[in-house]
Amino acid sequence: MIRIEIDEDRCVGCLECVDVCPTGVIINKNNKPFVENAERCIGCLSCSYVCRADAIKHEGIHVEEKIVKSVYIEEKIERFV
Amino acid sequence: MKIGIVKLASCSGCQIALLDTHEKLLEIADKVVYAPLIKDARELPDCDVVLVEGAVRTEHELEVLKRARERAKKLVAFGSCSALGGISGMGSIYKPEKLIEDIYGRDLDYKLLDFAYPIDRFVEVDYYLPGCPPTPELISKFIDGILNGRVERHDYPVCAECGRLVVHTKIDNIKKTELPDPKVCLLSQGYVCLGSVTRGGCRAICTKAGVPCRGCRGPTDKVMVMPCKDYLTELHDRIERIAGFDVKFNDVASIYAFVFTSDMMDKLVSRIKEVIRKGRRGGRA
Ligand code: SF4
Ligand code: SF4
Ligand code: SF4
Ligand code: SF4
Ligand code: SF4
């Protein structure tokens, strides 16, 4: 079961996550994103991808984050504080 | 614990920011064994931690850096010049010969490297603490982290700390001079704010003061790992979505100002170094 959490303190209200979700999981509620139908989430991570504030967290997704990582950069990235 | 501070091509601003940590500085003062600005030791001894400020611009600096690496258990790229090229890296948009001719007007007895590089081009780096300069708060937290072995990362963008809210607008030009609305996202208002692509942790001091983020902390984790995320495409995309206008950036170099000599931006889509190398200005520096 996928759980989605939106960190309200981080969110700047751009609603890009609402626009991008292909299955209508995140809806616009009084100009704020709201997780309405978590069970419909297909785990595409598009919302988290467009979120400029890194405010959306998913748990329980069965696939790895589908991002291409360069080994060189991946090695170094953890050292950036 | 012995701490050393080494200066390469830099403005010393990062060391000044370290002085601005007040109590934290007092706490570590007796641990600092070498620091040109605050101690008069001549030689860098073996240290537990060496903070390197500045980019590598000359062959001499390269030697200093290599010696620092040999003597440091942990080497820290302190500030954006050192971590990403930063302001010193910006000089790389001019050819080295041109810089020397215009600034010194004579030959130098040392050689400039082709670019002003971040230090990780030459040596292994254990921690990067970007920022121009990193805020005293960031430095204090980092020092605490080093002392107790738990360094906290900031993997979120500046937007997460900004507190301004996005409003969907329709504008037709980039703004630079007018006073912005204090509550609304600067991108919505037509200012080119790099907050969404820039590593947070600075508490968005610039946008809170009404000044767009210039990206001094360098790229976020996302921008670094995702090949299709790049400053230009991200900013273009966001401005189009929220302000409804197709922005043509005519000064690309200023968007990548802090990062373009860093390998961290050498992804499939970012050809910034190549572009700058090709179009290097031969004109007056
Ligand atoms: S994309 Fe992120 S910042 Fe924008 S509304 Fe959604 S959660 Fe908030
Ligand atoms: S991961 Fe995909 S399906 Fe799930 S909420 Fe985000 S955009 Fe919608
Ligand atoms: S990062 Fe900024 S403050 Fe630090 S040395 Fe470079 S130019 Fe100066
Ligand atoms: S783009 Fe700039 S002004 Fe807008 S939310 Fe992000 S940091 Fe704040
Ligand atoms: S808001 Fe941007 S430019 Fe200002 S300190 Fe933070 S990262 Fe640097």
A-B C-beta contacts closer than 8 Å: 89
Strands A32-35, A26-29: pairing is antiparallel
DSSP B259: T
Q: What is the dihedral of CA B205, B206, B207, B208, to 10 degrees?
A: 40
B215: left (phi over 0), alpha (psi -120 to 50) or beta: left
B123, B36: one domain: yes
Q: What is the pLDDT of residues B4-61, one digit of tens each?
A: 999 999 999 999 999 999 888 899 999 999 998 888 888 999 999 999 999 999 999 9
In a domain, B281, yes or no: no
DSSP for A1-44, written as a single string: --EEEE-TTT-----HHHHH-TT--EEEETTEEEE--GGG----
Measured between beta carbons, the chain B residues lying within 8 angstroms of A18 are none
Which tokens in the block code for residue B191? 């200012």
pLDDT > 70 fraction of chain B, expressed in percent and rounded: 92
Residue to test with chain A: of B222, B228, B258, B262, most A Cβ within 10 A: B222
When divided into structural domains, chain B yields a total of 2
Do B166 and B144 lie in a common domain? no
Find the domain containing A64 and state its range.
3-80
pTM: 0.82
Question: Which distant-in-sequence residues (6+ apart) come within 8 Å of B77 by Cβ?
Answer: B52, B83, B118, B119, B120, B125, B127, B128, B129, B130
Same domain, B90 and B221: no
Contact A68/B at CB under 8 A: yes
Could you tell me if B110 and B224 lie in one domain?
Answer: no
Strand-pair partners of B53: B7, B78
Q: Taking CA atoms, what residue in B is nearest to A81?
A: B153
- Write the residue in A15, A52, A81 that is nearest to B238 by C-beta: A52
CATH number for the domain harbouring residue A58: 3.30.70.20
ipTM: 0.74
B21 shares its domain with B110:
yes
Which residues form the domain of B237? 159-262
Same domain, B176 and B116: no
Phi and psi (nearest 5°) for B175?
-105, 150
Q: Which of the residue ranges B226-230, B238-242, B276-280 would you say has the lowest mean pLDDT?
A: B276-280
State the pLDDT at residue A73: 73
The residue to which tokens 């960190």 are assigned:
A7
Q: Is residue B111 part of a domain?
A: yes
Instruction: Tell whether B14 is covered by a domain.
Output: yes
Closest by Cα among B253, B7, B231 to B119:
B7
Structure tokens at B245: 């206008």
CATH at B26: 3.40.50.700
| Pair B102, B18 in one domain | yes
In terms of domains, do B30 and B170 share one?
no
Judge whether B126 is closer than 8 Å to chain A, CB to CB: yes
Same domain, B56 and B131: yes
Does residue B272 belong to any structural domain of this protein?
Answer: no
Q: Are B111 and B59 in contact (CB under 8 A)?
A: yes
Would you say residue B268 has pLDDT above 70?
no
How many beta carbons lie within 10 A of that of residue B245, not counting itself? 15
Ligand 1: residues with CB < 6 A are A 6, 11-17, 33, 50-53, 55-56
A-chain residue closest to B75, CA distance: A79
Which secondary structure element, helix H or strand E, spans residue B86, and what is its range? helix B86-90
Q: For residue A65, what pLDDT is reported?
A: 43
Average pLDDT over residues B214-229: 85
Give the separation between CA A78 and CA B221, rounded to whole angstroms: 9
How far apart are alpha carbons B180 and B182 in whole angstroms?
Answer: 6
Q: How far from chain centre, in Å, is Cα A24?
A: 13
| Count of structural domains within chain A | 1
Strands (E), B56-210: 56-58, 72-78, 112-117, 127-129
pLDDT tens digits, residue range A21-46?
A: 888 899 999 999 999 988 888 777 88
**Predicted pLDDT at B109:** 85
Q: Is B273 helix (H, G, I), strand (E, B) or coil?
A: helix
